[in-house]
A and B are shown apart, each in its own frame.
Chain A
Amino acid sequence: MSKEKLVLIGNGMAGVRTLEELLKLAPEHYEVTVFGAEPYGNYNRILLSPVLAGEKTIEEIMLNDDQWYADNHITLYKGKKVVEVNRARREVIAADGTVTKYDRLLFATGSNPFIIPVPGHELPGVVSFRDIYDVDAMLAASKQHRHAVVIGGGLLGLEAANGLLKQGMDVTVVHLLDTLMERQLDKPAATLLKSSLEQRGLKFLMEAQTAAILGDDRVRGVRFKDGSEVEADLVVMAVGIRPNIELAKKIGLHCERGVIVNDTMQTFDPRVYAVGECVQHRGTSYGLVAPLFEQAKVCANHLAGFGYARYQGSVTSTKLKVTGIDLFSAGEFGGGEGCEDVVYKDPGHGVYKKLVLKDNKIHGAVLYGDTVDGAWYFQLMRDGTDVSDIRDGLLFGQAHLGDSGHGGQNAVAAMADNAEICGCNGVCKGTIVKAITSKGLFTLDDVRAHTKASASCGSCTGLVEQILANTVGDYSTSSKEKPMCGCTDHTHEQVRKAIQSQRLTSIRAVMDFCEWHSADGCAKCRPALNFYLIAAWPGDVKDDYQSRFINERAHANIQKDGTYSVVPRIWGGVTNAAELRAIADVADKYKVPTVKITGGQRIDLLGVKKEDLPRMWGDLNKAGFVSGHAYGKSLRTVKTCVGSEWCRFGTQDSTGLGIKIEKMTWGSWTPHKFKIAVSGCPRNCAEATIKDYGVVCVDSGYELHVGGNGGVKVRATDLLCKVETEEQVMEYCGAFMQVYREEAQYLERTAPWIERVGLSYVKQRVVEDAAGRAALYQRFLESQQHAQVDPWAERAEQGVDQHEFVPLKHVV
């Protein structure tokens, strides 16, 4: 069968990215031909700024060289501009007469820089800032001439001006308005930016309207409306871009400002697709790479014949690539009706931060001088998180929501290549940079996949994002809704809703209803689906053990050498001589190499062979123990202190209460692990204020605390409320666990969940709505009826899942 023919017009960032995505999905589907007006392979256009500034070379910014096209059997016509398309005959015609047939055509012609049509705009020495040709022209001019004028004080203009300054020129930036980068910055931030650029030696002419460019055979100056003039040997026009739709219009494709496409990136001619800056989607054209790459992904999906991806628009954020200047901007920072500005200003340190809030949500952000939290604000903005509960500390950044336990470093540019970035996987800065440049990585997910940096506990994510931005420019992701995983387009919430409303009761049914793209799902979505099902229909759904991570499947923690650890439940941390003797006997009998007191007030038997597990559990069962679920996304421990029974400060029976709570909650499955503690007085010896649910006894009753976390990022709890009786402590506990279980995303602990939904919401559900609380508590108790079965006993005595523990065969 002969292959279908795909022709790409425009060898730029969006078009070639589409081909890369397509090659991943359907490498054999098309015979591909690419026409590029520029005489180069595909390069990273956004890095032209560092090239101009002398920080990078052209070789360093090449993304795909000729070899790549050859390796992938793509015909590349460099330096050939397409001038005509015959849609009836499905032919593309280049300026030199080359004719190529197509079955599918992809338009990715980018934008044209806008040139103000003043007299003299065609003089030699007047350039735009768009491609390698322009950069070469500027570099050449900088070697021979002295005076440069950049018209346009936006992102591109300032990056051009900075580059020319670095090349030794005397540079004046001319701007029509009275603030720089008015589309990204408000006045105070723009003022800080301007003075910092002035300190570097840039000159500014604000509120200056260009009237003419002067000169005879080459530019020699610029004249303004008011009659004044400045000297210039080079004039860079950086006043904006227009989608390049000349060819599309000529061949009759429906265009407005850009080529009109639908959510599948298809134009009005079904054989013709378009991506990139030339496109207009739902009324918007984008001039940043992140959204274009999302378009590329969707387009490739349809070209490959998969037919399910949709592009739904993007939210974007901006940074300025001038080394040493930190600036971040996103959303509607200008404010307006119903908006409030929250501002932090420290001119002495050159720091300015403004968040625009509307209905308690972040609508826009401008950061200058300290941009570490840009990604976090952007995330809150895209998720539409209600920030009223964290408003007080919002401007101080994410680290101040609690004390971030780990890391704390944030200036990655200054770090040495051998500085360790990811402590979990031992990945250094140099390794990450090398992977990014040699493998052509663009996104955080790419870097995680290739280097494992930030792929484990995630606390170094911010650093990795910075390295990425410093190396390839800023491609912060921007899709509006994040699907559960690569197997589906649906979010966690959508899937849970479907499970409820359609009464789906098996993983297969969910995958069918939600149109999963993969046959079996993957190691990410299957455990999540299994949890959502048992949480929604306790007792009715069969727990799918093949969709559980090995620890939960084998009811023990796998160790690095393939052995397991066994942690029996020790209620509230209280034990006795008989129990300890039984543990000692078991340790002897099964030759357990390590016996350790855990951080959760119980005993860990480490290094047990898998085959021995059921018998060992049987012996522990006989001594009265059940599984401690130290392996599960489930209730772990209830830590207690000695309390009023012994302690001279104890106000209530914290030990007894802890045991009661553990008896009620053990065995429950939760989105992530769940830890509880009860302290007998505010001295808090059981560390209740870093637990998912913490109880601090006081003379008049019990303080209930929620959302604490002692792990990767330490977060102290929020006070939920105060209650008077033990019964209330139990009821609030069950109700809290149940909302968390019903609504949090799989693998989201209570700390990030509360930061996402807001403490007020949790209070409303658990404290204020008494009937709602009672119902939640009831549902919790109901599901416990099915969950409180000791998995060890089932396996030790009833022979459940024997295949897990015995080899299929012994070959000698």
Chain B
Amino acid sequence: MTVSSTATVIAMKQWLEVGKLEDIPALGARVVRTPRGDVAVFRANDDHIFALDDRCPHKGGPLSQGIVFDHKVACPLHNWCIELQTGCAVAPDEGHTGSYPVKVEQGVVYLQLPAAPAAR
């Protein structure tokens, strides 16, 4: 393992335009390809938008392919439920996947990604 440098990078948090709200089906998701891996952007029935790493905390299933209901998604591989707001598995399952700030302005969806690629 390499030891990272101690210099702090103050990254400007940037809102990244990723597409239009209407490009994401209600009760569905689309994928944003990023250097840190796929991010799934979900659209709930009430037009709330959420962004999670497209990896299920169980065995890495692509959450973007799951069935969306309320503010949750059921993973397509083994049916764990994940909270869209927090990325946490719904009890009794335990686990967590990364989540990202998202917003919609005038029908355009913006996503905020951390500056540096995630260490994995």
Q: Which residues of A contact B (CB under 8 A)?
A: 439, 449-450, 452, 518-523, 526-527, 545-550, 553-554, 558, 560, 562, 803, 807-812
Contact = CB atoms under 8 A, between A and B. Distances in A.
A439 B92 contact: yes
Contacts of A439: 92
A549 B35 CA distance: 28
Nearest to B68: A546
Contacts of B16: 811
The 5 closest A-B pairs by CB, nearest first: A523-B74, A808-B30, A520-B69, A546-B27, A550-B65
Contacts of A522: 69, 74
B52 interface: no
20 contacts: A520-B45, A520-B69, A523-B74, A526-B69, A527-B67, A546-B67, A547-B67, A548-B67, A550-B66, A550-B76, A803-B25, A803-B28, A807-B38, A808-B19, A808-B23, A808-B24, A810-B32, A810-B33, A811-B16, A811-B33
A521 B72 CA distance: 11
Contacts of A809: 18-19, 32-33
Interface string B54-92: 000001111001111110001011110100000000001
A523 B66 contact: yes
Interface in B3-38: 16, 18-19, 23-28, 30-35, 38
B32 A811 contact: yes
B30 A803 contact: yes
A811 B35 contact: yes
A147 to B, nearest CB: 49
A545 B81 CA distance: 19
B69 A803 contact: no
Nearest to A801: B25
Interface of B: 16, 18-19, 23-28, 30-35, 38, 41, 44-46, 59-62, 65-70, 74, 76-79, 81, 92, 113
Nearest to B93: A449
Contacts of B92: 439, 449-450
Nearest to A561: B60
A519 B66 contact: no
A808 B23 CA distance: 8
A811 B113 contact: yes
Contacts of A558: 62, 65, 76-77
B24 A549 contact: no
A80 B92 CA distance: 35
B77 A808 contact: no
A522 B80 CA distance: 12
Contacts of B65: 550, 553-554, 558, 562
Contacts of A549: 67, 76
A553 B64 CA distance: 12
A546 B61 CA distance: 18
A519 B70 contact: yes
A546 B24 contact: no
Given A562-B62, A803-B28, A810-B33, 5 more contacts: A523-B67, A546-B68, A558-B65, A562-B60, A811-B33
A523 B32 CA distance: 24
Contacts of A554: 65
Contacts of A545: 25
A520 B30 contact: no
A563 to B, nearest CB: 10
A803 B32 contact: no
A521 B68 CA distance: 9
Contacts of B70: 518-520
A650 to B, nearest CB: 43
A519 B23 contact: no
Contacts of B79: 523
B77 A807 contact: no
Contact of B35 (A518, A546, A562, A812): A812
Contacts of B41: 808
Nearest to B80: A452
Nearest to B113: A811
A225 B34 CA distance: 89
Contacts of A548: 67
Nearest to B25: A546
Nearest to B27: A546
Contacts of A526: 67, 69
A73 to B, nearest CB: 19
B24 A811 contact: no
Contacts of B60: 562
Nearest to A24: B91
Contact of A519 (B25, B45, B62, B113): B45
A803 B16 CA distance: 20
Nearest to A547: B67
Contacts of B44: 520
Contact of B18 (A518, A562, A808): A808
A11 B68 CA distance: 40
A443 B92 CA distance: 14
A807 B76 contact: no
Contacts of B69: 518-523, 526
Contacts of B23: 803, 808
Q: Which of B46, B69, B74, B81 has the most CB of A within 10 A?
A: B69
Contacts of A518: 69-70
B26 to A, nearest CB: 7
Contacts of A807: 30-33, 38
A546 B44 CA distance: 11
Given A546-B28, A803-B24, A560 B18 contact: no
A533 to B, nearest CB: 16
A663 B35 CA distance: 47
A521 B67 CA distance: 10
Nearest to B56: A562
Contacts of B59: 560
B107 to A, nearest CB: 14
Contacts of B28: 546, 803
A86 to B, nearest CB: 40
A523 B63 CA distance: 13
Nearest to A456: B78
B66 to A, nearest CB: 7
Contacts of B78: 452
Contacts of B61: 562
A520 B26 CA distance: 11
A527 B69 CA distance: 12
A14 to B, nearest CB: 23
B34 A811 contact: yes
B100 to A, nearest CB: 12
Contacts of A808: 18-19, 23-24, 30-32, 41
B2 to A, nearest CB: 24
Nearest to A521: B69
Contacts of B24: 803, 808
Nearest to B109: A808
Contacts of A811: 16, 18, 32-35, 113
A805 to B, nearest CB: 10
Contacts of B62: 558, 562
A612 to B, nearest CB: 15
A811 B74 CA distance: 26
B102 to A, nearest CB: 12
A523 B41 CA distance: 18
Contacts of A450: 92
Contacts of B66: 523, 550
A553 B66 CA distance: 10
A654 B39 CA distance: 51
Contacts of B76: 549-550, 558
Q: Which of B26, B41, B45, B65 has the most CB of A within 10 A?
A: B65
Contacts of A547: 27, 67
A520 B34 contact: no
A65 B36 CA distance: 46
A72 to B, nearest CB: 15
Contacts of B68: 520, 546
B4 to A, nearest CB: 23
Nearest to A452: B78
Contact of B27 (A452, A520, A560): A520
